Amino acid sequence: MTTLSASMLLAVPLAPLVGAAAAGILGTKLGGNWIGRRWSHSLTILGVLVSFILSAITLKRVALDGAYFDQTIYEWMVIGGLKMEIGFLVDGLTAMMMCVVTFVSLMVHIYTIGYMEDDPGYNRFFAYISLFTFSMLMLVMSNNLLQLFFGWEAVGLVSYLLIGFWFHKPTAIFANMKAFLVNRVGDFGFILGIGLLAAYTGTLNYNEIFDKAPELAAIEFPWYVFGQEAMLVTVIGICLFIGAMGKSAQFPLHVWLPDSMEGPTPISALIHAATMVTAGIFMVARMSPIYELSDAALNFILVIGAITALFMGFLGIIQNDIKRVVAYSTLSQLGYMTVALGASAYSVAVFHLMTHAFFKALLFLAAGSVIIGMHHNQDIRWMGGVRKYMPITWITFLLGTLALIGTPLFSGFYSKDAIIEAVHFSNLPASGFAYFAVLAGVFVTAFYSFRVYFLVFHGAERYDQNPDAHHGHHGHDDEHGDGKPHESPWVVTVPLLLLAIPSVVIGYLTIQPMLFGDFLAASIEVHADKHPAMAKFAEIFHGPLAMALHAFSTPPFYLALAGALSAWYLYMVRPELPARIAAALRPIVVVLENKYYMDWINEHIIAAAARAIGVGLWKGGDRGVIETGIVNLSWKVVGAVAAVVRRVQTGYLYHYAFVMILGVLAFMTYFVWLAK
């Protein structure tokens, strides 16, 4: 087996960190702004480019030469036998994630040159996105839960900074605080899961934990669920998944993701489509030896993923902001990945993670190109006919849309149909509901995707009908002076073209080794006797071409076709019908417009309850018990005792003599009584 160099692997995350430090320290006002914009973006892009090249070399050695690396780089400290280490585990799963993160990040870095060219925070933005790349690489390359948690929290921190990048906007500050707080809820469960693993295994190293997994399966936990003791692996699995629910935006911890669109478009692609939100999916796949021991945890994952896949897709139908439609699409697709995890099809979940990273980053960046061309109007109701003005953006957006809806031969088809097949073959009780949800989600996805496509790129031009039209957002004006959209510069369109290539072909090229080969064999563990979904899927798989040809006779294809045709008819042929349908279904539309009232529930029930508990602990605990009952009571008791003592200590000698005589008499009486 080929070995990998520790120094080369160490350079992968450090290269973008150096670029981030250079842009952040030397390129901002805080550091004296010693280097200008050109050097800031050049150094950060160079760092990510180096990281991508090294990641590609690593992937080649892992895929072709069977290379593997699991080694501690630095031992931080030891607490009672529990080692705190920095180390790397590089196998098929890690190598794939390294390439996805660095390639998408590289495209976003180049794209940002054009998108943020007039923004005063240009250098700071490059520092942030490069720092994010470092954090994500530390997460996916870790060989232990401590380093995983470091990367987990680091991407959360940088996400907070990027969502609120335009900090002069109150909505951006609200959005980044919302993301921060919701993720703290998920992280609470995540920490509990890590703590339980550390307590019962005595280690944080992945492989050492997995070696002790059979022992964990035999331990009952002193929590009672429906009158029965829960198994330890079930509690651990659910706690870890709660962390994934926050980071990967699963219902009901999904509420932060749509609002995160307040940040600049490049970070929407980098953080909320391609990398950060998939951290939870990656973590569950990495911990597959634990999840395989608990059907209860897998059923829980199936239900949560199915709800997210279907009901978040419904919300995409009524959105008018082009970025928010893509954001709800991300939510829905993350639900698909989660469903695959619940069906023990971990390799399929990771496969969809990879394909989705390319075509969703493409869609976000293409949407950003449209926003640039439309002089920063984001409302699709006031677009139309953009195709003839922005041909490169149009064709790349169309390719991304076709991949998203699962068009045969496109990358999204192979991963999405594989999820549907795996859930169909699953024998878990929740798989029936999950199968219905992912199947119905195919129609929903195609409908809202082509709704955006037709309203933006086809039909009548509606640029001058926008009652809230505003130009020159953060410095971008209509340079041509004609009010028409114009194609974006090459630094925007080149990343679109480069992302379009894997969005079309990567699924066809990689489905065989990733799902049915040995590429992920060292990364993922499946007990086929208990969870036969992938084994049954393998029996009917006869190659990527045969799968694509067979798709034309399957329900997902016709559901996707029906969704696309419905969007075409409603928004191109009979554009007056959507308003009539919305009026007829007004109660449902109101529920969707209010996002199932989840924000209201969070703010007025959950947050109010949390505040009430806090006020109760403050007034009842802090003031009532601690201040009044302990601190104040103690000095009051001392004061009362002192007042009594002061009366006894008079200073007169005959008083003391009298007390001494009384004492002697008391002792004599006591001894006489005792002698009897």
Residues 517 and 606 in one domain: no
The pLDDT of 475-502, averaged and rounded, is 77
pLDDT at 482: 56
pLDDT at 226: 46
Residues 215 and 297 in one domain: yes
Q: Which range is least confidently modeled, 272-286, 420-434, 516-530?
A: 272-286
Residues 500 and 611 in one domain: no
Q: Which range is least confidently modeled, 185-189, 358-362, 542-546, 616-620?
A: 616-620
Q: What is the 3-state secondary structure (H, E, C) of 648-670?
A: HCCCCHHHHHHHHHHHHHHHHHH
Residue 112: CB atoms within 10 A of its CB come to 29
Whether the CB-CB separation of 418 and 512 falls below 8 Å is answered with: no
Residues 333 and 417 in one domain: yes
Angle (deg, nearest 10), helices 122-141 and 145-163: 160
Residues 508 and 618 in one domain: no
Q: Which range is least confidently modeled, 197-211, 273-287, 515-529?
A: 273-287
**Structure confidence at residue 116 as a pLDDT band (50, 70, 90):** confident
The CA-to-CA distance between both ends of the chain, in Å, stands at 95
DSSP assignment of 143-178 equals SBHHHHHHHHHHHHHHHHHHHTSSTTSHHHHHHHHH
Q: Is residue 477 predicted with pLDDT exceeding 50?
A: no
Q: Token pair for residue 624?
A: 């009532």
Residue at 216 is within a domain: yes
User: From residue 523, how far is each of 60, 286, 365 by CA, in Å?
Assistant: 16, 7, 31
Residue at 354 is within a domain: yes
Residues 553 and 645 in one domain: no
**Number of domains observed in the structure of the chain:** 2
Q: Is residue 474 predicted with pLDDT exceeding 60?
A: no
Q: What is residue 321's DSSP assignment?
A: B
Whether the CB-CB separation of 398 and 453 falls below 8 Å is answered with: yes
- Percentage with pLDDT > 70 across the chain: 94
Q: Which range is least confidently modeled, 68-77, 151-160, 177-186, 649-658?
A: 649-658
Q: Is residue 532 predicted with pLDDT exceeding 60?
A: yes
What value does the mean pLDDT of the chain take?
87
Q: Is residue 334 predicted with pLDDT exceeding 50?
A: yes
- Percentage with pLDDT > 90 across the chain: 51
Residue at 121 is within a domain: no
Q: Token pair for residue 92?
A: 């098929």
Model pLDDT for residues 400-440, shown as the tens digit of each residue: 999 999 999 999 999 999 999 999 999 999 999 999 999 99
- Which secondary structure element, helix H or strand E, spans residue 499, and what is its range? helix 490-511
pLDDT at 1: 53
3-state secondary structure of 74: strand
Residue at 222 is within a domain: yes
Residues 153 and 231 in one domain: yes
Residues 410 and 275 in one domain: yes
Q: Is residue 541 predicted with pLDDT exceeding 60?
A: yes
Q: Checking phi first, is residue 478 left (phi over 0); if not, alpha (psi -120 to 50) or beta?
A: beta
Model pLDDT for residues 153-207, shown as the tens digit of each residue: 999 899 899 888 888 888 889 888 888 888 888 999 999 999 999 999 989 999 9
3-state secondary structure of 142: strand
pLDDT at 597: 87
The pLDDT of 537-557, averaged and rounded, is 92
Q: Is residue 225 predicted with pLDDT exceeding 70?
A: no
Model pLDDT for residues 92-106, shown as the tens digit of each residue: 999 999 999 999 999
Residue at 285 is within a domain: yes
**Which residues span the domain enclosing 645?**
602-674
